[in-house]
Amino acid sequence: MKVMPTYNWDSVEKEQMNPFLTRQVIHGDMMTIARLELKKGCNVPEHSHENEQIAMVQSGRIKFNLGGVEATVGAGETVRIPPNVPHFVEVIEDCVVFDLFSPRREDWIRGDDAYLRSK
């Protein structure tokens, strides 16, 4: 009998990326899901990636800038970021965000995530 992998966010390792950002990650074969805890004042600098991204805000508020277009997204709202579109975020209130990526974030697996390790 095969075993189905199951996860509990309470037991997924938390990685302190910088003083404002904590990340938990689960990589599947074809996608990545991340749970991010972001503190007010956190800024994720402009970047882009080959992955399509769906960002779901569980709590708090965050401002996305996607190719020059801004949107403030709050609890219960979701934004879609197409592949290769430059974007950055500004955290307005402490928040928890779930990010889904397809394909999976090979750059994160390799440790190529320096842009998240600064304020």
Q: What structural domains and CATH numbers belong to the chain?
A: 34-116 (2.60.120.10)
Q: How far apart are CA 78 and CA 16, in angstroms?
A: 24
pLDDT given for residue 119 in this prediction: 57
Q: How far apart are CA 53 and CA 40, in angstroms?
A: 22
pTM: 0.93
pLDDT tens digits for range 49-78: 999 999 999 999 999 999 999 999 999 999
Tell me what the pLDDT averaged over the chain comes to: 95
The encoded tokens of residue 106 equal 């090979």
Dihedral angle sign, alpha carbons of residues 10, 12, 18, 20 = negative
pLDDT tens digits for range 77-102: 999 999 999 999 999 999 999 999 99
pLDDT tens digits for range 18-48: 999 999 999 999 999 999 999 999 999 999 9
Helices (H) and strands (E) in the chain, counts: 1, 10
